[in-house]
Chain A
């Protein structure tokens, strides 16, 4: 005899509302059915009345945590429609703000994950380190979370020498702090007892279930959109993909911590190679045709599709966010898990539901 227990939409560990109906048999989950639609805002219909410059501001507000890379992907897609090259300094500034965004998003996730199994003091430590990163972002762009750094044709603000010194000092501090908490996540007896061997996905299953991001890389598939030849600035900066082989929650945590160190290294290289020049090129005319653009957000691969028909409004905008691709994998890994471990399994895919249901 199975009972049906609702998980969500309101739950203390979930950052955003999602509902899962769990069928349990004597404390072990047998089946799960997700139910979405609590924060659907209809943004793909909203762009009908706004022109292609104003749509940048709408795209950034799809999500609060990964907002810089949404704006960067949209502006790169529209620049592909216009077939225009932006100056090098603008590309480097976009990469720097994008990687700072990734650092703050991973620190946020580490805190939430610790809260998922009740380790509150570690949760507060991670969010305390995150405040240093947010202060630097506020000094560079003007806002803590919605940056508006990217526009069609370049970037909106420049970096002065004072900003560069400030970023480098912050990176040294954050690197020393993350080394301290890495010891806790990787070596602590309690953390290992709750995470090792939980929700294991084999390499084949993760690939076929269509997952993206650290969920895919934790199972041995070395797939990262930053390796694509479309945007070869990452190869110039010496980017290396972070991969682990085991496929359980512990491996996915280690992947995200490695990516934190990798982002710090990428920002240091970008600051030392920052070229001089303009920060934007002027754009004339209206967009026509269709284009597809993919980049790597903190949660995985995001795909943007834009279509213009010669007027100032775009005809169609479609966004496929990484959490949309990771949710079906929950249906395959939840059966067999105990009821007390369900919050950890749901948090390990890094759910960002407002991205999923734009």
Chain B
């Protein structure tokens, strides 16, 4: 297979994303990680959940200037990775349980948003 892609369900809006994530938590899925990359002027977020060694993926595209909603209210462990993306990509998540405001890794005299 020449185009290797990962099967993922597309999410159209932040509220749909939050509702799907709550449904996955009630089903018994475990949170794995969030993968962020630059794509077409915005950022592409890929959420990974796992149960019984099978992965379930959700894809969500963040338009430039948009503030995505945080899922740390549902899964507390997501707060570390969302803070990391605030540092490295310059995103801002709304509703974070603990917010480091862009200073988790970077100090005031480091380069700003190195991966963006």
A–B direct contact (CB < 8 Å): yes
Residues of A within 8 A of B (CB): 33, 36-37, 40, 42, 44-45, 80-81, 83, 207-210, 223, 225, 227-229, 288-292, 301, 303, 305, 307, 315-316, 318, 320, 324-325, 327-329, 331-332, 357
Q: A284 to B8, alpha carbons, bound, how many Å? A: 29
Of B2, B33, B37, B75, the contact of A307 (CB 8 Å cutoff): B37
Residue from B2, B36, B80 whose CB has the most chain A CB atoms within 10 Å: B80
Of B6, B46, B104, the contact of A37 (CB 8 Å cutoff): B104
Check if B76 sits within 8 Å of A209, measured CB to CB. Answer: yes
Using a Cβ–Cβ cut-off of 8 Å, how many residues does chain B contribute to the interface with A?
33
Query: Interface readout for B76-116 with A: 1 if CB under 8 Å, 0 if not?
Result: 11111100000000000000001000011111000000110
Query: Interface readout for B18-36 with A: 1 if CB under 8 Å, 0 if not?
Result: 0000000100001111011
Q: Does any Cβ of A come within 8 Å of B5's Cβ?
A: yes
Chain B residue at smallest Cβ distance from A44: B115
Given contacts A227-B53, A315-B37, A325-B77, 13 further A-B contacts (CB under 8 A): A33-B98, A36-B105, A37-B103, A40-B105, A209-B76, A209-B77, A292-B6, A292-B48, A301-B32, A318-B33, A318-B37, A328-B77, A328-B79
Q: A301 to B55, alpha carbons, bound, how many Å? A: 13
Write out the residue numbers on chain A whose beta carbons fall within 8 Å of the beta carbon of B115. 44-45
Q: A343 to B35, alpha carbons, bound, how many Å? A: 32
* Majority-rule SS of B interface residues: loop
Residue from B4, B78, B104 whose CB has the most chain A CB atoms within 10 Å: B4
Check if A320 sits within 8 Å of B32, measured CB to CB. Answer: yes
Q: A80 to B35, alpha carbons, bound, how many Å? A: 18
Q: A207 to B76, alpha carbons, bound, how many Å? A: 12
Write out the residue numbers on chain B whose beta carbons fall within 8 Å of the beta carbon of A318. 33, 35-37
Q: Does any Cβ of A come within 8 Å of B3's Cβ?
A: yes
Q: Which 4 A-B pairs have the closest CB atoms?
A: A289-B4, A210-B77, A320-B33, A37-B105
Chain B residue at smallest Cβ distance from A321: B33
